[in-house]
Amino acid sequence: MNVFYDKDCDLSPIKGKQVAILGYGSQGHAHAQNLSESGCTVTVGLRRGGASCNKVEAAGLKVADVNDAVKGADIIMILLPDESIAQVYSENVAPQAKQGATLAFAHGFNIHYGQVVPRADLDVIMAAPKAPGHTVRSTYSQGGGVPHLFGEQAVLCGGAVEPLHELKLIVDLIYEGGIANMNYAISNNAEYGEYTAGPKIVTADTKNAMRQCLKDLQTGEYAKSLMLENRAGAPTLIARRRLTAEHPIEEVGARLRAMMPWIAKNKLVDQSRN
């Protein structure tokens, strides 16, 4: 895998192109405004009379009917809910896109599962940000950015395991305005995964295990185990620290955090001082 940074990127090729952003939701507003402020020519394609038209105009962006936006575009980025993309591609993009245009996505769902089968003349690219669209926008506005990787649904919104960095972004959204606020900011695809995958992870067995942990605390069984562990020189604690440090999520996480310098500037823990 090759990792590219800001210094590796040349925006001049895209600045000479017409970019159509279809949709103005969580990801759509972020990509449209970020590209526009980076010097690109952006048109937001929306249904006539759509609820987002006023938001687009208030942001100083050009808005057009979906068909009109697609016709003149060199790059067409479809940033609609995953469940709507196939129909819009079939009805609006495939018939209207000019020869050799580039089709862009922020999520691989529709391509991977064959919901969208692009015309043979179209190039297909993906820029999948490792964050909800509102974070993509806010970090850009602050002079930063977010990495573009993969991870969602079962391991993120249904039960955090793998994408540890993005867990904080999700928790921040909940902290800011509750679960509904978080679900507003993520995709329908991720939200659906939350409802379907979450209960498979937090099962009756999981709850029973948590009840047993609580019982161990209440009866003093946990305290007895901890005291025995320390009397023996803390072998379990030391071994687990070593295994955790060697876990791939720690190695990948270190590289990921190095791509986001603002984290270090605002860190809570400085191991050299506290």
Task: Give me the active site residues, please.
Answer: 107
Instruction: State the distance between the two ends of the chain, measured CA to CA, in whole angstroms.
Output: 36
Q: What angle do CA 23, 109, 13 make, to 5 degrees?
A: 60
DSSP character for 98?
Answer: P
Residue 92 backbone phi and psi in degrees, to 5: -120, -40
- In three-state form (DSSP H/G/I as H, E/B as E, the rest C), the secondary structure along 160-194 is CCCCHHHHHHHHHHHHHHHHHHHHHHCCHHHHHHH
- Token duo for residue 213: 């942990």
Q: What angle do CA 235, 240, 245 make, to 5 degrees?
A: 135
Residues contacting residue 14 through CB under 8 Å, at least 6 positions apart:
35, 40, 75
Rounded to whole angstroms, the Cα distance separating 148 from 163 reads 12
